Amino acid sequence: MIYARVVDGLVVEVVDLSEEFKIQEIYVPEVAEEFFPAPAEVEIGWAFVDRAFVPPPAPDLDDVRAFRIAALTSVCALAIVGGYSSDALGVAHRYPSGVIDQINMMGSVTASLLPDLPLDWATPFWCEDEGGEWAYRPHAAAQIQQAGSDGKAHVVSCQTRLAQLSATVMSASTADAINAVDWTSDI
């Protein structure tokens, strides 16, 4: 038998008890009196009005869209600062891309563009090799520029994905379709 616990006109708990159990035997009296027999489809969040269970109104699609896009934007921000790969040093290395890392990369790229650099100019930059070893590795001007360019491409790729996923959210016509869009969705 399905029972719904109702507090202030709202279903806060749903239990399915076999016929051998009685609510009054399981819960203290103050809680037991909050339970009512309910149809199988009742869920937490339904209203209880005039001794009848009423499903909640359908969510406003604009609110669902705004919430989903906000969630996607948060995931995008994490992806941007989650690092990226570049073969600026000849083989793939992983570069950090937190906010400070991006500022450091911009400073290094800017320094590499200054006039009259010595031919052997290099700047150290933190990166991880294919073996998982992080080190402060020297980068020639062209190498740091390539690593910086790859970092920028990573950011633009994340932003482009967010724009495409947001467009998918905006064109979805049901809450389920909107909520089905996540960072890994095909676009």
> How do the pLDDT tens digits run along the chain, 187 residues long?
999 999 999 999 999 998 888 888 889 999 999 999 999 999 999 999 999 999 999 889 999 999 999 999 999 999 999 999 999 999 999 999 999 999 999 999 999 999 999 999 999 999 999 999 999 999 999 999 999 999 999 999 999 999 999 999 999 999 999 999 999 999 8
Taking the C-alpha atoms of residue 75 and residue 77, their distance in angstroms, rounded to an integer, is 5
Taking the C-alpha atoms of residue 101 and residue 167, their distance in angstroms, rounded to an integer, is 30
Q: DSSP letter at 177?
A: H
Q: DSSP letter at 60?
A: P
**CB-CB contact of 88 with 150 (8 Å):** yes
The four Cα atoms 57, 61, 63, 64 give a dihedral, to 10 degrees, of 100
**CB-CB contact of 146 with 88 (8 Å):** yes
Q: Where are the domains of the chain?
A: 2-54, 61-179
